[in-house]
Structure 1
Amino acid sequence: MPNPAPTPIAVPIPTPNPAPTPSSSPKSGPNSQPCHVFTTPPDLPLSEDERLVLSRGLTFIPRRSRINEFNTWRDIEQFFRRLRLCAFFFNQDSLPPSDDPFSCLQHTPSTWTPRTGLLPALDLFIANCRRDINRLNFSTPLTHSNLSPSERAALHSLRSNPNLTIKPADKGGAVVVWRTNLYTAEAKRQLADTSSYCPLDHDPTSHHQTIISQTIHNLITSGDLPSTASNLIFPQPSIARFCLPPKIHKPDCPGRHIVSACSCPTELISAYLDTVLSLLVQNLPTYVRDTTASIIFASPIPNALSSPWTSSPCTPPSPLTKDSNPSISSFPTVPTCTLPLTPSFD
């Protein structure tokens, strides 16, 4: 008897990012609306084309006149790799979470790709895609553009103007164009607040990194922390960054001071503390999970409200206790030693 045909398997296929399409509207997309453009001072001169380009938003991507062949093949091969990974791990259970809270602080990107031959239909699809891409003529210029020649000239004028600082608004999604000297003056005004900032004559990042590294290594040597606690040390730290998103809803358009501590020496220590404290916060009697849960708590009839995003009524989260949640014993244990999270550096 002939062998029965294999049963087809439905594998979810990730879709690549769609290429931008030409549009005469300020922002492409069926429901997109142009961004509002504000200037500081209000009489800052901007041409009509410059305002039109800015109204497209700071995430707008101008279309190039030619397609870069190297970037195209790089993106396509990355997409093929995601397809193979999706097919390889389809219907497989995910790995259980690690009991060590320090092991997940640093991730090493994997470059492994499943071998060919595991799914013939996928191999045929990839081969056909490569054949069709090989037929493309990358030296042919594109005939369509999502910017007019005057708008493209305005974009180059905005990029090359050192007297303009362009920032997203703190709220509302608007685009704000500051005169650079006013932006600098606002930054100096806020940095002059000695209750929050103090001037330094050098970059203390390397000194902070040395103290944190030595302290963590000493705690590992003494047995107060496991060996995986070395993941708390950020490999290549950098200095914090200061920026001022403008508050256009307030008089004189002040800036909201933000100090980004990403890639700073204490970033991973903060991430570890967040995993510990989040479990403690969820165990508080005043903890509210989200807006839907708060509406349910305020409702006179519990569980009478249904979430518009689900088909079943939303129930408020129950208090996290050993009786209601058996996983309470799996909470990460906070070491009894003292970490210099906010040390006083000389």
Structure 2
Amino acid sequence: MKVLNKGLKFAPTKKIDKFGVFVDLQKFKRSLCLKKYFLKDPVTRQVLGENDGWRHTELKKKSHFYPKHLISKEITTFETMVLDEMEKIQPMRSQNLTKEEKEALKELAEDTTITIKPADKGGGIVILNREDYDEESLRILNDRDVYQRIPYNPTEEIKKKFDKYIQKGENNEFLNEKETDYLTVKYPKIPVFYHLPKVHKNLNKPPGRPIVSGIDSISSKVAEYLDHLLQPIVRKIPSYLKDTGDIIRSLNTITWEENFLLVTCDVRSLYTNIPHNRGCEAIKTMLLEDGEIKKEQIDYIVEGIALIL
């Protein structure tokens, strides 16, 4: 296992991606047309949740609206000029890497006996033996208190539960039409498990920080919706700290005294150690005390959290 310096940089390729440039041009043309369109016909924005009494979000599917009738001669001329100039450019050979360095990178990319991951902390790059990485993966996944082996793919079964939950939200008007459309995942991806090596704890045989990447999974959109509702309320909690900068600003407001102690603490496996029922109860209590969201919608939010968990 090796850790590479976080300052290591690889030379960018000088070869032009003609297709990529063409795609970017089309996006730029659409952006210009949209600006022209909305200057002529401004969008009237409304305060969310004002009409039906329920708390809503701004979540909606990305629009594909393209007023092509607003493509002018100037835009077309600009596109032609860029494409013509691109054809004249000759790709340059990169001189940033030596021949030996290029061969080393190629060898690393083709080596199936290793895996390359970012370090859990510090920003370094870690090269691990594939056997060691797989061994740590199995150690994490074989913890039966956290993970459960299942004999089949439950995707369709879980999808039906989320579809039913979303339909319930629409029927009770907790969700508006745009939210319902956004939250419905028609073709969900199965979440991917991997882990990041904690080289700050053990350099020779680092334990892994397990991560389940749920991008575009069944629960990803509902989780995003609930996060939008909860974040404004979480910020009101006295113990809330946004980031390191927020901590420093808070400390600057304190008049330090001789008997003060600056203490930090860490919880091992924090999220897996929170009992689901107690966590849901805590969130419900917090939402009721805040009073910004009606009780019926609070019950719906807590139901969604339990479903995700």
**Shorter-chain TM-score range:** 0.5 to 0.7
Could you tell me whether the CA contact under 8 Å between 1:63 and 1:145 is conserved in 2? no
For 1:90 and 1:152, the matched residues in 2 are separated by: 51
Could you tell me whether the CA contact under 8 Å between 1:170 and 1:245 is conserved in 2? yes
Partner of 1:39: 2
Partner of 1:104: 58
Matched letter for residue 159 of structure 1 = A
Partner of 1:75: 24
Residue 280 of structure 1: which of 224, 227, 233 is its match? Answer: 233
Unaligned runs of 5+ in 1: 1-37, 41-50, 301-327
1:190 aligns with 2:190: no
Percentage of matched positions with identical amino acids: 23
Per the TM alignment, residue 82 of structure 1 is displaced from its structure 2 partner at its CA by: 3.6
Partner of 2:265: none
Work out which of the two has the higher radius of gyration on C-alpha atoms and give 1 or 2: 1
Could you tell me whether the CA contact under 8 Å between 2:57 and 2:228 is conserved in 1? no
Change (3 A) 1:257 1:183: same
Change (3 A) 1:113 1:291: farther
Higher relative contact order (CA 8 A, sep 6+): 2
Matched letter for residue 71 of structure 1 = G
SS in structure 2 at match of 1:242:
strand
Q: TM-score, normalised by structure 2?
A: 0.67
Partner of 1:48: none
More helix by share: 2
Residue range with higher mean Cα deviation, 81-90 or 264-273? 81-90
Q: Which runs of structure 2 are paired with 1:1-346 in the superposition (5 Å)? A: 39=2, 56-57=8-9, 60=10, 62-64=12-14, 66-83=15-32, 85=34, 95-99=45-49, 102=56, 104-113=58-67, 115-117=70-72, 123=74, 127-128=77-78, 130-131=80-81, 133-137=83-87, 140-218=90-168, 220-221=170-171, 223=172, 225-226=174-175, 228=177, 230-231=180-181, 232-251=183-202, 252-288=205-241, 290-291=246-247, 293-299=249-255, 334-337=297-300, 339=303, 341-343=305-307
For 1:94 and 1:254, the matched residues in 2 are separated by: 53
Change (3 A) 1:270 1:248: same
RMSD: 3.8
Q: TM-score, normalised by structure 1?
A: 0.61
Unaligned runs of 5+ in 2: 257-289
Count matched residues.
261
Could you tell me whether the CA contact under 8 Å between 1:105 and 1:268 is conserved in 2? no
Change (3 A) 1:142 1:213: same
Matched letter for residue 110 of structure 1 = H
Per the TM alignment, residue 203 of structure 1 is displaced from its structure 2 partner at its CA by: 1.9
Could you tell me whether the CA contact under 8 Å between 1:240 and 1:260 is conserved in 2? yes
